[in-house]
Amino acid sequence: MHNNRSRDWSQIFLQQGMRFAILIGVFATLFFYTQCSKGFSQGRQLYLNHCANCHGADGQGLRSLYPPIAQSDYLENNYEELACIIRFGIDKTLTVNGKSYSTPMVGLDELSEIEICNIVNFISTEWHPKNSYISLKDINMIIGKCK
Amino acid sequence: MRFMPLYILVAIVLFTACTSEDTLPVLGVPTIVDGKEIPHKIRDFSFTNHNGETITNESYKDKIYVADFFFTTCPTICPTVMSQMVRIYDKYENNPDVMLLSHTLDPKRDTIAALKAYADNLEIDAPKWNLVTGDKKVIRGFAQDYMNIVVEDNEAPGGINHSGKIVLIDKDRRIRAFAEGTDPNEVDELLEDIDKLLQEYAQ
């Protein structure tokens, strides 16, 4: 009698545990699909694929042709503009660290908001630690208000 | 399949490259005239540079030089290759024996003014480094001379698909080494090869 009862309890516990695990899985999946990660692997890979050709793998830029992304006073001061530049490109002369740059950039409209969010946060984690993490919600808001 | 001959050429090149240690090999497929092997050579050329000056093979006489193909609006490999060309330019800035030659693959958009702006932005200038333009078909023919492949492709970003080889030419206009301009490690080796070639002429 006593043995049977304890087996019942363990079975119930297993069932509940399973349900709990599935629930955690669902929440985790939802979380990862609606949030962008704070820099690192995904943002780095996106940066290398979409930005590094011109701005360099180390964000150093190229002479007066392409402005640096790393340690850029422009990005330090106009951080919210970054998402807009990635989405819509830019065709005006910028002054970055005292140097002027006028090579136009085309917008990367193939990138989703989450991808832009990952790139922006990678750039901040890697090169602009003073800039705070920007959430996907904020990115959506910024992009909605570009120009 | 269309580029099979080039693969064979590259295979020959790689094979030849392995056989010698001290002096750089002469690359490319030689032509045989009257039973004699004549090495692959860059033909006589005449282009216009970013300052509007005529640049010919005479401008590169008694110099060794590196050559590549690009266009200013190319969003993919060109900026990477150019950054490597800048490395070469910087290293030999004070050595008049080494020059550079970049050909535009898009003469329509890359006017002399556009090339001039690009050169200014790269902070480089002639006579050491010429960005040249000319007849589109003629330039594409020379791309083959320099072992580069160029294909018109509307699907490709910028409309042109091309390889980013940086090719080292000796004083007899023979190809002596090359590197993928997109690979900084290969360009490290090319820099060593340039030194080797300079050494060859110093002896």
Secondary structure letter of residue B99 according to DSSP? E
Euclidean distance between CA atoms B73 and B124, whole angstroms? 18
Cβ neighbours of A66 in B, within 8 Å: 79
User: Which residues form the domain of B198?
Assistant: 41-202
Both A83 and A121 in one domain: the answer is yes
pLDDT by residue (tens digit) across B153-188? 887 777 778 889 999 999 999 999 999 999 999 999
CB contact under 8 A, A62 and B82: yes
User: Which residues form the domain of A11?
Assistant: 1-34
Both A136 and A95 in one domain: the answer is yes
pLDDT by residue (tens digit) across A1-50? 455 555 677 777 777 888 888 888 887 776 665 666 654 689 999 999 99
Cβ neighbours of A54 in B, within 8 Å: 75, 79
**Number of domains within chain B:** 1
CB contact under 8 A, A63 and B118: no
Q: In which band, very low, low, confident or very high, does the pLDDT at B123 lie, cut at 50, 70 and 90?
A: very high
Both A47 and A73 in one domain: the answer is yes
Both A43 and A21 in one domain: the answer is no
Residue B55 has pLDDT above 70, yes or no: yes
Q: What's the burial of B33, exposed, middle or buried (CB within 10 Å: 0-12/13-18/19+)?
A: exposed
Q: For an interface test with A, which of B72, B76, B80 has the most A Cβ atoms less than 10 Å from its Cβ?
A: B80
Q: What is the residue type of A89?
A: G
The stretch A75-87 carries a mean pLDDT of 94
Domain with residue A55: its CATH number is 1.10.760.10
Residue B75 forms contact with A (CB below 8 Å):
yes
Supply the pLDDT for residue B16.
53
Asked if the structure places residue B9 within a domain, the reply is no
Cβ atoms within 10 Å, residue A16: 10
Q: Which residues contact A95 (CB under 8 A, 6 or more apart)?
A: A74, A101
Residue B157 forms contact with A (CB below 8 Å):
no
Give the highest mean pLDDT range of A10-14, A69-73, A143-147.
A69-73
Both A18 and A72 in one domain: the answer is no
Q: In which band, very low, low, confident or very high, does the pLDDT at B1 lie, cut at 50, 70 and 90?
A: very low
Main-chain dihedrals φ then ψ at residue B148, nearest 5 degrees? -105, 150
Supply the pLDDT for residue B10.
55
CB contact under 8 A, B121 and A53: no
Domain with residue B159: its CATH number is 3.40.30.10
Both A52 and A29 in one domain: the answer is no
Contact between B37 and B78 under an 8 Å Cβ cutoff? The reply is no
